[in-house]
C-alpha cells in the first residue's frame, strides 16, 4: 500500500521496473528509519530532561504515591530486578533476530511483488474463477473507500490535536500534532504514545490543570474518531452503524489493531454474499 504510489510515480518518469522497485523499498525504509529515529530521540531527550531537571520532584511524586495509595514503586522495581536475567536477555535476542529476519523477508517479498505484479495477477486470473476475480475487483473499490475514510479521519484528528496543543501551549505543538496524526493510523495505541509522556512530564512539574486538559483532549479525540468512523463507514458502505461498531470490535479482538480496518471489510463481504444468495 505504501510502495505502490511511489513505484508508479518512478515508472512514470521512465525508470526501469527493477530499479524502480529497489528505489521504492529504499525510500520507504529510509523514511521509516528517520521517523522512528527522530521520534525515539525526542522521547529519550524528554525523559532525560525530566530526570535531570526534576529528580527531586520525581522522588517526591514516588513518595506521595506511596503515602496516598500504598504503592512502593522503588520496592516494586527492586523486586523485579530478577526478571532481567540472562535467560530473558537470550529470549530477547531470539525474538529480535526473528523480527529482523521477518523484516528482511518482507522487504524482499514486497520487492518481487512490485516488480512482477503483472505476472502475479496473470497467475491469479488463471487459478481463480471469473466470478471470484470479478468480485475481488468490485470489492477493491470498497476497500479504497475505507482507506479514504481512514485518511480523512486521521487528518481531522491531527487538526484537532494541533489546535488543542496550541490552546494548552504545549511546546512543539504542530510537530507533536503531526506525529499524533500519523500514529492515529493505529487507533487507541497511536496517539496515547505521545500523550502519556507529556502527561507524566506535567504531573512531575505539578501542572495538574494542564494534565486535566490533556486527558480531556485525548478523550475528545477518541470520541470524535469513533463517531465519525461509524458515521462515514456506515454511509459509504451502506451498513448500519451498530453493525460497523460490532465488526470493528470483533475484528480487533480477532486480529488485533489491523482488525479495526479488516472487520468492516469482512462485514461488507458477508453482506454482499447474503444479498446475492437471496437474489
Q: What is the pLDDT of residues 252-268, one digit of tens each?
A: 777 776 677 677 777 77
Per this entry, what is the length of the chain? 279
pLDDT tens profile 177-188: 888 877 776 655
Query: Nearest to residue 239, comparing CAs of 108, 145, 132?
Result: 145
In a domain, 182, yes or no: yes
pLDDT digits (tens, 9 = 90+) for 197-253: 788 878 877 788 888 998 998 888 888 877 877 777 666 666 676 777 787 778 777
State the alpha helices, DSSP H only, in the chain. 3-12, 17-53, 55-69, 73-79, 86-115, 117-127, 130-168, 173-183, 192-204, 208-237, 241-255, 259-278
Taking the C-alpha atoms of residue 10 and residue 19, their distance in angstroms, rounded to an integer, is 9
d(CA 15, CA 11) in angstroms, rounded, equals 5
Window from 13-27, 45-59, 149-163, 222-236 with minimum mean pLDDT: 45-59
232 shares a domain with 178: yes
Report the pLDDT value the prediction gives residue 234, as an integer from 0 to 100: 65
Both 224 and 192 in one domain: the answer is yes
pLDDT class for 141, splitting at 50, 70, 90? Answer: low
* 46 or 103, greater pLDDT: 103
Q: What's the chain's average pLDDT?
A: 76
244 in Cβ contact with 237 (< 8 Å): yes
Confidence of residue 52 (pLDDT cuts 50, 70, 90): confident
CA atoms within 13 A on the CB side of 266: 16
Q: In terms of domains, do 231 and 184 share one? A: yes
- The single residue listed with the C-alpha cell 536477555 is 89
Do residues 134 and 186 both lie within one domain? yes
pLDDT-based confidence at residue 133 (cuts at 50, 70, 90) = low
pLDDT at 9 over 80: yes
* pLDDT at site 238: 67
Is there a single domain that holds both residue 133 and residue 226? Answer: yes
Q: Which domain holds residue 106?
A: 79-127
- Structurally, the chain folds into a number of domains equal to 4
Same domain, 112 and 135: no
253 and 230 assigned to the same domain: no
pTM confidence score: 0.59
157 assigned to some structural domain: yes
Q: What pLDDT score does 279 carry?
A: 45
- Mark which of 127, 154, 187 sits at the end of a domain: 127
What is the biggest distance separating any 2 CA atoms in the chain, rounded to whole angstroms? 72
In a domain, residue 152? The reply is: yes
Residue 54 within any structural domain of the chain: no
Amino acid at each position: 500500500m505504501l510502495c505502490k504510489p511511489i513505484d508508479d510515480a518512478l515508472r512514470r518518469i521512465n525508470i526501469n521496473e527493477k530499479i524502480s522497485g529497489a528505489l521504492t523499498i529504499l525510500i520507504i525504509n529510509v523514511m521509516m528509519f528517520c521517523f522512528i529515529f527522530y521520534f525515539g530521540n525526542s522521547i529519550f531527550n524528554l525523559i532525560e530532561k525530566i530526570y535531570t531537571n526534576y529528580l527531586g520532584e520525581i522522588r517526591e511524586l514516588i513518595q506521595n504515591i506511596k503515602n496516598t495509595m500504598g504503592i512502593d514503586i522503588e520496592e516494586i522495581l527492586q523486586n523485579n530486578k530478577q526478571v532481567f536475567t540472562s535467560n530473558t536477555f537470550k529470549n530477547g535476542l531470539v525474538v529480535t533476530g526473528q523480527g529482523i529476519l521477518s523484516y528482511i523477508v518482507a522487504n524482499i517479498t514486497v520487492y518481487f511483488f512490485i516488480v512482477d505484479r503483472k505476472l502475479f495477477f496473470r497467475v491469479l486470473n488463471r487459478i481463480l474463477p471469473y466470478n471470484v476475480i470479478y468480485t475481488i475487483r468490485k470489492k477493491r473499490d470498497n476497500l479504497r473507500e475505507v482507506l479514504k475514510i481512514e485518511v480523512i479521519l486521521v487528518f481531522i484528528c491531527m487538526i484537532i490535536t494541533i489546535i488543542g496543543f496550541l490552546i494548552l501551549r504545549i511546546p512543539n505543538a504542530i510537530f507533536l500534532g503531526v506525529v499524533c496524526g500519523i500514529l492515529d493510523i493505529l487507533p487507541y495505541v497511536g496517539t496515547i504514545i505521545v500523550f502519556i509522556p507529556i502527561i507524566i512530564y506535567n504531573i512531575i512539574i505539578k501542572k495538574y490543570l494542564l494534565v486535566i486538559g490533556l486527558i480531556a483532549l485525548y478523550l475528545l479525540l477518541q470520541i470524535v474518531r469513533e463517531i465519525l468512523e461509524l458515521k462515514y463507514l456506515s454511509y459509504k458502505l451502506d451498513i448500519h452503524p451498530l453493525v460497523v461498531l460490532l465488526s470493528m470490535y470483533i475484528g480487533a479482538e480477532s486480529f488485533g489493531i489491523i482488525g479495526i480496518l479488516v472487520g468492516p471489510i469482512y462485514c461488507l463481504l458477508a453482506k454482499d454474499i447474503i444479498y446475492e444468495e437471496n437474489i
